[in-house]
Chains A and B, each alone.
Chain A
């Protein structure tokens, strides 16, 4: 009979994150009541943070491979701006423009991902610097395209923005007796799909396993016959594609291009990955954890937004403090596990001799 294995580090950290999310959410339901009792609140969190969930996945994949990508926010701003300009320029009734805009978004993401991936994996340049340059380039190109905010006036796209999936049985009854169905945006559904697909790829597809091996130990991965350069390159291509997709989803949530779109979202995505149990050292991580990381950050912001401390600097301080708690918790948990393992390892030979 197969003995049940203890949780590995990834699963342990992810479990902690999921546990804390539920504790926090239930606490909010009890103490704040109101909106938190409605399913719509969860859906709103998903709707508002769909793009963050997607770039969270992008970062988790790269970080598992032992890299980092801080250009995701910039790529979002560039795709949002480029798509907004394209949609406004393509004629207001042209429904096919949406498809072209979608391909444009993916194309921009792919170009950035492939370019940066090439520099990082084939020219051995430090990923932080390359993606920093990518961030500068994408932010700069955004303002070159347009300094002023661009509002989308393309009608079919605006119709798409308004399309929401309505789920009546999760809705609530308003004061006037009407049933208001719970609304989920298309972007949120896409984000959830991306989480599931990334999870499956990382878990069951050869490329995903290779990324774990690469992040765990590059030398061993090389000796196992894994094409290290190609794997690393592909991890950046995937993250670039996902950032392009996130840009399109962002535009579907807020149909306007702006130079300061998704400012600092890369750091939020990194924080979410960390909270979800991904380690920057590589080889450890899980997109499900990242999903809950995003939800934890979003819930905190919502709670503070509804509390009397509704000021941006309180939000910053609270999310900073929360991040600190998580990071310390992870460090303590991991180091105590390591100590226990070391003790076991030290004890084992003695037992064998006896």
Chain B
């Protein structure tokens, strides 16, 4: 009995975060040994004359913001539906199109139009995500297949919404959203991640959403018999993902100062799914840790930045990234975990035997 309890405790506690934490630690150590100044942070003056913090660490945390936010939503969808949404990049392009369409008025971007644009962007993104969610929850289609539809035509819809190819955005508001607010030395996207994390944490604290999502993911039928509505929970997870995608899209548009339906959040779906997997979450649904996914997002970004700083050409980064990912997932695979734990028990047993032998002598 005691062993059973032990293992369940392990998987629910810190055990799941072991692999991402170790991976992060190894990356940090590697960078420290390679170049001790890698993590130095200094105050610098940016283009618009503001004092901002700069350094690799800040840029890693800053540029991983969109990925971290989407990874949070992706974790929920994964947990509830047992599958992944591969349309987040394309829907992100649609979200960006909504935002720019409303915010970019004839008088440029004003505070009011930006807020209105953001609201429309969130609502529009939720509507598109509800489409995915309806296919998954009501029509019981595998998430990956259901979201393949928007994956293949989402960017075209974004093009169609916006009408023109790549509108340039120049406004202090866009600067404030994508880079830094004057007077605050930390990039705004980092605050967006913290805000989203706090929001989700509050939701989990004061509602039963976590429990309900996990029970739907583990056994839908059992959840239904216990009075949980699986359809509603799955739809809700897609709505939350929609909000996450909308926020990430606004950050992405503001950072680049332009809307390009082809490059906005491109390939982010793959990175987001990776972040979820590296965070130790089961892609088949069920139990989840949001913190793991966020850590996963930062690991992916740190890996990319490390490779860049080792002067690997951007087009070749994918190959090295793949190798590191394989190492991480192999280390986290159940078979290897079992082997390691067996090895540890054998070593312990060996020590016991050795000490016992000493005692006999």
Supposing A123-B330, A125-B329, A129-B273 touch, asked if A143 and B151 sit within 8 A by C-beta, the answer is no
Supposing A271-B148, A319-B152 touch, asked if A124 and B159 sit within 8 A by C-beta, the answer is no
- B353 → chain A, closest Cβ, in Å? 31
Return the chain B residue nearest A332 by Cβ. Answer: B139
Contact of A140 among B140, B153, B316 (CB under 8 A): B316
Q: From residue 131 to 161 of chain A, which have CB atoms closer than 8 A to chain B? A: 132-137, 139-141, 143-144, 147
Q: Decide if B150 is an interface residue (CB 8 Å cutoff).
A: yes
**Cross-chain contact B335 with A323 (CB below 8 angstroms):** no
Chain B residues with CB under 8 Å of A143's CB are: 313, 315-316, 318-319
Q: Decide if B157 is an interface residue (CB 8 Å cutoff).
A: yes
**Cross-chain contact B156 with A316 (CB below 8 angstroms):** yes
Return the chain B residue nearest A71 by Cβ. Answer: B322
Q: Decide if A114 is an interface residue (CB 8 Å cutoff).
A: no
Q: Decide if A207 is an interface residue (CB 8 Å cutoff).
A: no
- B293 → chain A, closest Cβ, in Å? 13
- B143 → chain A, closest Cβ, in Å? 9
**Cross-chain contact A122 with B160 (CB below 8 angstroms):** no
Chain A residues with CB under 8 Å of B150's CB are: 320
Q: Decide if B346 is an interface residue (CB 8 Å cutoff).
A: no
**Cross-chain contact B142 with A316 (CB below 8 angstroms):** no
Supposing A136-B318, A143-B315, A319-B153 touch, asked if A128 and B141 sit within 8 A by C-beta, the answer is no
**Cross-chain contact B274 with A129 (CB below 8 angstroms):** yes
Return the chain B residue nearest A120 by Cβ. Answer: B333
- Tally of contact residues, A, Cβ under 8 A: 45
Chain B residues with CB under 8 Å of A267's CB are: 148, 151-152
Chain A residues with CB under 8 Å of B325's CB are: 129, 132-133, 136
**Cross-chain contact A140 with B319 (CB below 8 angstroms):** yes
**Cross-chain contact B322 with A134 (CB below 8 angstroms):** yes
**Cross-chain contact A130 with B335 (CB below 8 angstroms):** no
**Cross-chain contact B145 with A274 (CB below 8 angstroms):** yes
- A341 → chain B, closest Cβ, in Å? 15
**Cross-chain contact A129 with B156 (CB below 8 angstroms):** no
Q: Decide if B336 is an interface residue (CB 8 Å cutoff).
A: yes
A264 to B51, CA, bound (A): 43
**Cross-chain contact A327 with B149 (CB below 8 angstroms):** yes
**Cross-chain contact A137 with B146 (CB below 8 angstroms):** no
Chain B, residues 302-334, CB within 8 Å of chain A (1/0): the string is: 000000000001011111111101100110011
A321 to B325, CA, bound (A): 34
A126 to B84, CA, bound (A): 12
A126 to B140, CA, bound (A): 22
Q: Decide if A99 is an interface residue (CB 8 Å cutoff).
A: no
Q: Decide if A223 is an interface residue (CB 8 Å cutoff).
A: no
- B154 → chain A, closest Cβ, in Å? 8
Q: Decide if A169 is an interface residue (CB 8 Å cutoff).
A: no
**Cross-chain contact B322 with A136 (CB below 8 angstroms):** yes
- A212 → chain B, closest Cβ, in Å? 18
**Cross-chain contact B135 with A327 (CB below 8 angstroms):** yes
Q: Decide if A324 is an interface residue (CB 8 Å cutoff).
A: yes
**Cross-chain contact A136 with B319 (CB below 8 angstroms):** yes
**Cross-chain contact A280 with B319 (CB below 8 angstroms):** no
Q: Decide if B277 is an interface residue (CB 8 Å cutoff).
A: yes
A119 to B329, CA, bound (A): 9
Q: Decide if B210 is an interface residue (CB 8 Å cutoff).
A: no
Chain B residues with CB under 8 Å of A319's CB are: 152-153
Return the chain B residue nearest A68 by Cβ. Answer: B144
Chain B residues with CB under 8 Å of A217's CB are: none
Contact of B329 among A129, A141, A279, A313 (CB under 8 A): A129
Name 24 A/B residue pairs within 8 A (Cβ), A-sorted: A68-B144, A119-B330, A125-B333, A126-B277, A129-B273, A129-B325, A134-B322, A135-B270, A136-B270, A139-B319, A140-B317, A140-B321, A140-B322, A267-B148, A271-B152, A274-B145, A314-B156, A320-B149, A320-B152, A324-B149, A327-B146, A328-B135, A331-B139, A335-B140
Which residues of B does A touch, CB under 8 Å? 84, 135, 139-142, 144-146, 148-157, 159-160, 270, 273-274, 277, 283-284, 313, 315-323, 325-326, 329-330, 333-336
Contacts A136-B319, A140-B319, A313-B159 known; list 4 others, CB within 8 Å. A119-B326, A123-B336, A124-B334, A129-B325
**Which 9 residue pairs are nearest across A and B when measured between Cβ atoms?**
A140-B319, A320-B153, A140-B318, A137-B322, A313-B156, A136-B322, A316-B156, A143-B315, A331-B139
